[in-house]
Structure 1
């Protein structure tokens, strides 16, 4: 017999409202639920409360209809890499609309699309050879999975049995059924498990804070363990059945900016090559300059996370999103290397996948302008510079806080993980709503800062973190303000939590 109480789900896509005592910055008993009662006909993230309404945006700030000015310390979901209201991008979009706003990519090509593809292929120093443009990161992952499957069908000799994808626990690759099916975000998968493909499996993430056997295990030993686990998973599934391994170079929303230890991806590449599987790197959140990859002789102007020497491998297929277009127009991309493209050339001579808004002229023109600005203004260098400052100040200001377990990240992509016990790393229970409570408190005056919350970092269900992803144009003053405000929010939140 069905329960009279409706089941509730928290997949991280809806903010769980904390109690009154913890969500009011001045200590007053204002009920958050009453200040945004739902009257909208839009199917918003929550059906009980309407989101705050933005009336304008410029630089690092969003202006709300109530007059509040929010410091956007996360670029939304690590999207607004140039900040808001860039006039050069706006003008480029307008110019493209004056030429052509839409045409079907099955029949026509557009200059902006060709130029964007050329720019991105050149940014890989020719390691990738073709680009495919769509409207979202989830769509990019769908395309990558399909391309991996088609590669094994059309290469010589073909291996049609290869259809299994190995991914990692506590990963997130998108919300469409194919992308969700390979991902390891427990909460986001839960409701839709019966619809998800069973031709995927997951191994442990490279997550030094919680994954190392002890504080005495060095990086090499840790990498060797993870390599052996991945190899064993290939053996369990059957090496000739695996089409690809997919991973984020720096894990974003699911873990909160967790970079892999040095040598990990070289080990992964070795296992994939050993068994003939493709390596797909998901750079939707951490790519397009976000981690400030360090230059090398081969990559003097690095843009992609995999070009950083700490990662040190070239993928067969990669995906881009968020920072590609900076939020000005929805746009994402999948790039493929020569080996993959040549297999298709020798077979059907086509990628057997297409979408209505594929290679959308306005979207690609916006992305082209964003990427030109990144390169012309050398903004990735600023990401490296300000990212080092951001990491140092976070550790100096928050490292000793009893509820802060780990501070990790790279470039302008940093996460703070919270724990109930700093020594044992015991996470808070989900009902404490720590991450969403910190976000909600930060959004209120006098703080007025947006901090991106995440849950499940400890075991898929428990574990709270916030993510910081400022614009690439951030100054030292911006970074100092973000860290100072974040620190005050965290201090306030946990002082109230202890008294509750």
Structure 2
């Protein structure tokens, strides 16, 4: 490296502010090596990603554009997003109305700390959510994800019992379901139950959660058993679990209204939600429904629990994915009036907060998404086209030798694949059937995004593909989805 000497005059200021030379110092100035950073370390010239991707050494395809239900990648692929990512982008991509709402909010305020300040965007979203429950829920706690909403629900359930007029501090336990998923933080992972996802974290998960059977009629209903008998059996299992734990030690029962990826879009058997709630309330415990994936219109109604004839409203409800449609990270906890009233008579505060709760930009995006869903009648579309999607799936794939079950509601459908249709035997995990179907869908000749799930039977065995397209798809889109999926299935399984 070449060095160059320069002489700099070091001057002192006189009292009059004049620069007066005092002495000279030679300083060797070395030119900067432009190949090195400020710390003198030469960066590697590599195209490797600096992101810790799901597969450490595999960078996914880069999305360079989007419109409606289509994603465009750097390698020239056009992908029909039949899953909305993970059931998120429910009004499609790149909607100019939502972008305009975000910019408008940025012109007002991009962020303020919600314990100190309120914003119109957050107030309006909370009001929209409470009104949509016909008065069942009276307050909303707005966060940035479904996992955060679950964490808040668990904390609020615990706090509720410490603030009753006669406190019940012994209530520290929760009951949830096997083959469920409620998030990936330690608290939410503790109430969820997917053996594969929990395995390495088991030693540090909470020990205050018991798990009962899921509502999974395809595999768990006995031959000749009626819906009523099956529901009664599951309710008795929940009752027995309350008794084994001590009924007065349980805070709440937590369940997905319609099971998500871990089980694969299984709707509740008629009467199931009502029966589970009755067991909870009999013992003074709360009934918590997780609608992070199935709520906000995904199953054809804004709240998945409203499908039940008796409108089985929960005490606490979580929502997220369809709330903001992916335009900004957002989730929410909806709270029943009696829980709010208990806190109001007690400490008057929820002992929990998060930096980005009620984020104004996220709330503005969600407000616009919900306006579009209402004014474009997308719930009706999701219901009608969802029925058509289910019908076509059964017509085109129901008889395939490796399709065990097709189930779902609205625009939320799961196809469970089996090695043997008659015995319901799953493919060995090493076959990675769901993963192969997913990867094949990305090939240019198919151009479709499919959501793969594994371990659906017991956390290790079982393969499912989930479809969760945008609410504003067309009948032609539905037919195309089924056509592409059928060709992918034939390509992988024959």
Q: Is the TM value for this pair above 0.5? A: yes
Which secondary structure does the structure 2 equivalent of 1:245 belong to?
strand
Counterpart Cα distance in 2 of 1:459 and 1:255: 9
Which secondary structure does the structure 2 equivalent of 1:167 belong to?
strand
Which portions of structure 1, spanning 4 or more consecutive aligned residues, are displaced by more than 3 angstroms?
A: none
- Per the alignment, residue 427 of structure 1 pairs with 426
From 263, 270, 273, give the equivalent of 2:278.
270
Which secondary structure does the structure 1 equivalent of 2:353 belong to?
coil
Q: Give the alignment's Cα RMSD to 1 decimal.
A: 1.0
Which secondary structure does the structure 2 equivalent of 1:191 belong to?
helix
Counterpart Cα distance in 1 of 2:459 and 2:349: 39
- Per the alignment, residue 128 of structure 1 pairs with 137
How far residue 494 of structure 1 moved from its aligned partner, in angstroms, is: 0.5
Cα-to-partner distance string for 1:43-87 (whole Å, 9 max, x where unaligned):
111112101000011101000001110010000000000000111
Counterpart Cα distance in 1 of 2:194 and 2:123: 35
- Per the alignment, residue 142 of structure 1 pairs with 151
From 197, 206, 210, give the equivalent of 1:201.
210
From 73, 77, 89, give the equivalent of 1:68.
77
From 288, 296, 312, give the equivalent of 2:296.
288
How far residue 312 of structure 1 moved from its aligned partner, in angstroms, is: 3.1
For the Cα contact (< 8 Å) 2:78–2:444, is it kept in 1? no
Tell me, which stretches of 5 or more residues in structure 2 are unaligned? 1-45
Compared with structure 1, are the counterparts of its residues 218 and 38 closer, same or farther at alpha carbon in structure 2 (3 Å cutoff)? farther
- Per the alignment, residue 118 of structure 1 pairs with 127
Counterpart Cα distance in 2 of 1:236 and 1:372: 47
Counterpart Cα distance in 2 of 1:319 and 1:249: 10
Tell me, which stretches of 5 or more residues in structure 1 are unaligned? 1-36, 294-302, 496-500
- Per the alignment, residue 311 of structure 2 pairs with 312
- Per the alignment, residue 467 of structure 2 pairs with 468
- Per the alignment, residue 92 of structure 2 pairs with 83
Alignment of 1:355-434 (within 5 A): 355-434=354-433
- Per the alignment, residue 191 of structure 2 pairs with 182
How far residue 310 of structure 1 moved from its aligned partner, in angstroms, is: 5.3
For the Cα contact (< 8 Å) 1:435–1:464, is it kept in 2? yes
Compared with structure 1, are the counterparts of its residues 55 and 120 closer, same or farther at alpha carbon in structure 2 (3 Å cutoff)? same
- Per the alignment, residue 97 of structure 1 pairs with 106
Which secondary structure does the structure 2 equivalent of 1:47 belong to?
coil
From 213, 229, 233, give the equivalent of 1:225.
233
For the Cα contact (< 8 Å) 1:287–1:304, is it kept in 2? yes
- Per the alignment, residue 5 of structure 1 pairs with none
How far residue 311 of structure 1 moved from its aligned partner, in angstroms, is: 7.0
How far residue 304 of structure 1 moved from its aligned partner, in angstroms, is: 0.5
Counterpart Cα distance in 2 of 1:339 and 1:201: 26
Compared with structure 1, are the counterparts of its residues 311 and 441 closer, same or farther at alpha carbon in structure 2 (3 Å cutoff)? farther
- Per the alignment, residue 252 of structure 2 pairs with 244
Structure exhibiting the larger radius of gyration computed from Cα positions: 2
- Per the alignment, residue 260 of structure 1 pairs with 268
Counterpart Cα distance in 2 of 1:261 and 1:312: 14
Which secondary structure does the structure 2 equivalent of 1:251 belong to?
coil
Cα-to-partner distance string for 1:388-428 (whole Å, 9 max, x where unaligned):
00000000000000000000000000000000010110011
Return the structure number with greater relative CO, CA threshold 8 A, min gap 6.
1
For the Cα contact (< 8 Å) 1:262–1:311, is it kept in 2? no
- Per the alignment, residue 19 of structure 1 pairs with none
Counterpart Cα distance in 1 of 2:371 and 2:252: 32
Point out the structure with the larger strand share: 2
Counterpart Cα distance in 2 of 1:61 and 1:409: 23
How far residue 445 of structure 1 moved from its aligned partner, in angstroms, is: 1.7
- Per the alignment, residue 456 of structure 2 pairs with 457
